[in-house]
Chain A
Amino acid sequence: MDNLNNLMQGFADVMAPLNLLLALVGVVIGTAVGVLPGIGPAMTVALLLPITYGMEPVQAFIMFAGIFYGGMYGGSTTSILLNTPGESSSVVTAIEGNKMAKAGRAAQALATAAIGSFVAGTIGTLLLVLITPFVVDFAVSLGSPDYFALMLLSFIAVTSVLGSSRIRGFISLLLGLTIGLVGIDTVSGQQRLTLGVPQLADGIDVVVVAVGIFAVGEALWVAAHLRRKPAEVIPVGRPWMGRQDWKRSWKPWLRGTAFGFPFGALPAGGAEIPTFLSYATEKRLTKHPEQFGKGAIEGVAGPEAANNASAAGTLVPMLAIGLPTNATAAVMLAAFQSYGIQPGPLLFEREASLVWVLIASLFIGNLLLLLLNLPLAPAWAKLLQIPRPYLYAGILFFATMGAYAVNAQPLDLFILLTLGLLGFAMRRFGLPVLPLIVGVILGPRAELQGRRSLQLSGGELSGLLGGPVSYTVYTVVAVVLLWPLIRRFVVRPLRARSAA
């Protein structure tokens, strides 16, 4: 019951008028920026992170919760009205959502997305409250070798499970790890890869990396291939749903939530798999199979709920263990670190009030989102028509401002540009972005934990094998890495035998 009291205290903190206003501002800017084409939730959070630099952590996190859910919701609006998802997690929403919009049912598609997101977000946050303490209890018992193994699993997961090409995933990861290496080694105090530049001694700020790769890279990439005739936006009125729509939506919302949350909480989960699973399930269970592919409301309700529930799920490993499982969580982790706060099991002891304020803000932000988005949808739709030169000029403008604000040194702008060019090249050569960001954030911590483990064993490599947890994790890592071989020599012969 202790947690319940903490949560109530969190709500009490958020309810102060100024804090409530910040939550509202966060939701509005988060949605507005998230709606803009080309800007996914992760970029939204990265671009808006610097505006909270002058604030107290509590205030900043209240605003952040709003930005987080706002950015998520904004992305689904874009995919429904433009057929152009900002992130791979909204791909499925676009399939039926855009068809609905084209058939004149944009209002219903947006409504089921908004209400479904609210339902899934609320249930997901509730599950977060219930489950996180157990994960924390588990995480407290973990030692350095276990953490090292878990981070290794994270690396392998983002490179091998997500994305289409392992080798390209690993390249991206290694680039990220190398960027994370820059600066003074925390253990020995030696400078690494600083090229003698004093400003690099503190390393390259994760925010600069995220903004450079996401925002500047994207702006340069689009600028080089700008479509001269912008895509068509479908006009929309105020979202609403009829009786029939409610009847067809509520079960997909709940099923989508059930898919989304557990996948989000897994180290290699993400939102892509649950949204696809939810879509496939709804397609099989629907009473209107003829509408699928032509704009079935179940195909929007389920995946959209799955997407939001998985976003809530990603916060479990992010807060309790300090492991980010998707790009947005990675940027959120960077936000914590920029306040000198290290997510992980101790977070709930040391910064208990902050965590519970954040969780309470997630509930409030989710509710505000619903109240705001139903009436404001037509205004958001107008944002989609913003002339592209202004859109990308604006992205570069805010990216520059944010990166400069981190340390107030012009050198960061040159680093930002270099990273932007790297982001450009990665888009050109089809290298995924997520492994790089995860590498930058987790790399230094993985090294630290690895070295601590070896310290205990006096340098013997056996020190990396801590206990049952690390054994299990290494087994999973081995299976994931060897999966192509296993499939070829174990799964296929077995299948062939059972078929025979």
Chain B
Amino acid sequence: MSSQVEERTVEDSPPPSRGGDRAQYGVCVFLALLGTAVIVDALGIAHITSGTDPVGPRAVPLILGTLLVVLAVLYAVDVARGGRGEMEAGEDVDLSDGTDWRTVALLIAVFVANALLIERLGWVISGGLLFWGTAFALGNRHYIRNLLIAATLSLTTFYAFAIGLGVNLPAGVLQGIL
């Protein structure tokens, strides 16, 4: 969605590697598997047609599944010919280094923890942990300050949105206290 306008000089961009972007074949495999899954799922649907619906529920998934498989092949051909998609740039994005998988893994862990805990602990606690954890994962080490920010943020959003505007957020263990 974002794009960098600064004129990038040629030496900024990583040199195009010889074999092209091999990881793209992974996308082809994913698309082919997805297409197959869509077709298999469609074949499992009862084939119901009637006067008001001569097409039935199976036609569209069958078409989409087939198209997915066809596109997977076309994409593989494109990749083999050296086609590559441009990675998305942005103001805070530095593409010169590799992908920082550690940060991504930490973020996913924090995210999953929140999804598991949100109903039991409630939004105020689990949301606060989410903010604190993501800030930590992204490299911020002001533990106490972040705890205060996280608590303020989750309490404010709970009172403003859940109580003020009627948005669905669970109170969890703090039910009756908040």
Contacts and interface: CB of A to CB of B under 8 A. Distances in A.
Contact of B2 (A84, A193, A407, A447): A84
Interface string A363-396: 0000000000000000000000001111111101
Interface string A20-54: 00000000000000000110101100000011111
Interface string B100-114: 110110011001101
Residue of A167, A405, A408, A429 ringed by the most chain B CB atoms within 10 A:
A429
Interface in A202-234: 214, 218-228, 230-231
Contacts of A472: none
A192 B54 contact: no
A430 B138 contact: no
Number of chain B interface residues as a range: 35 or more
Interface in B51-92: 51-57, 60-61, 64, 67-68, 71, 74-75, 78, 83-88, 90-92
B177 interface: no
A454 B34 contact: no
B140 A387 contact: yes
Nearest to B128: A397
Interface in B102-158: 103-104, 107-108, 111-112, 114-116, 118-119, 123, 127, 130-132, 134-135, 137-140, 149, 153-154, 157
Given A82-B91, A390-B149, A174 B103 contact: no
Contact of B88 (A43, A223, A401, A427): A427
Given A214-B1, A393-B131, A413-B118, A54 B165 contact: yes
A392 B152 CA distance: 17
Contacts of B131: 393-394, 396-397
A88 interface: yes
B167 interface: yes
B109 to A, nearest CB: 11
A192 B52 contact: no
A168 interface: yes
B75 A171 contact: yes
Residue of A53, A83, A86, A188 ringed by the most chain B CB atoms within 10 A:
A188
Interface in A316-353: 327
Nearest to B86: A430
B104 A459 contact: no
Contacts of B101: 224
Interface stretch (A9-17, A177-185, A485-493): A177-185
A144 to B, nearest CB: 12
Contacts, number: 258
Contacts of A227: 91-94
Nearest to A223: B103
Interface stretch (A90-98, A120-128, A254-262, A277-285): A90-98
B110 to A, nearest CB: 8
A187 B53 contact: yes
B104 A220 contact: yes
B137 A417 contact: no
B36 interface: no
B94 A51 contact: no
B57 A458 contact: no
B5 A226 contact: no
Given A85-B5, A223-B104, A396-B107, A410 B85 contact: no
A165 interface: yes
A170 B67 CA distance: 10
A168 B127 CA distance: 36
B68 to A, nearest CB: 5
B27 to A, nearest CB: 6
A462 interface: no
B115 A408 contact: no
Nearest to B153: A397
A164 interface: yes
A422 to B, nearest CB: 10
Contacts of B88: 221, 427-428, 430
Contacts of A53: 165-168
Given A53-B167, A227-B93, A417-B112, A393 B118 contact: no
A455 B157 contact: no
A164 B149 CA distance: 42
A190 interface: yes
Nearest to A231: B91
A311 B78 CA distance: 35
A178 B45 contact: no
B123 A85 contact: no
A340 to B, nearest CB: 17
A83 B27 contact: no
Nearest to B48: A188
A105 interface: no
Contacts of B34: 175, 178
B45 A190 contact: yes
B10 interface: no
A94 B173 CA distance: 49
The 5 closest A-B pairs by CB, nearest first: A430-B85, A54-B166, A84-B91, A459-B54, A413-B115
23 contacts: A91-B3, A167-B83, A174-B31, A190-B57, A220-B104, A221-B93, A222-B90, A224-B99, A227-B93, A392-B138, A393-B140, A396-B107, A396-B131, A397-B127, A397-B157, A401-B127, A410-B116, A410-B119, A417-B115, A429-B87, A447-B60, A455-B51, A459-B55
Interface of A: 37-38, 40, 42-43, 50-55, 78-79, 82-88, 91, 94-95, 98, 164-165, 167-168, 170-171, 174-175, 177-178, 181, 185, 187-188, 190-193, 214, 218-228, 230-231, 327, 387-394, 396-398, 400-401, 404-405, 407-408, 410, 413-414, 417, 420-421, 424-425, 427-431, 433, 447, 450-451, 454-455, 458-459
Interface of B: 1-6, 21, 23-24, 27, 31, 34, 38, 41-42, 45-46, 48-49, 51-57, 60-61, 64, 67-68, 71, 74-75, 78, 83-88, 90-95, 97, 99-101, 103-104, 107-108, 111-112, 114-116, 118-119, 123, 127, 130-132, 134-135, 137-140, 149, 153-154, 157, 161, 165-170
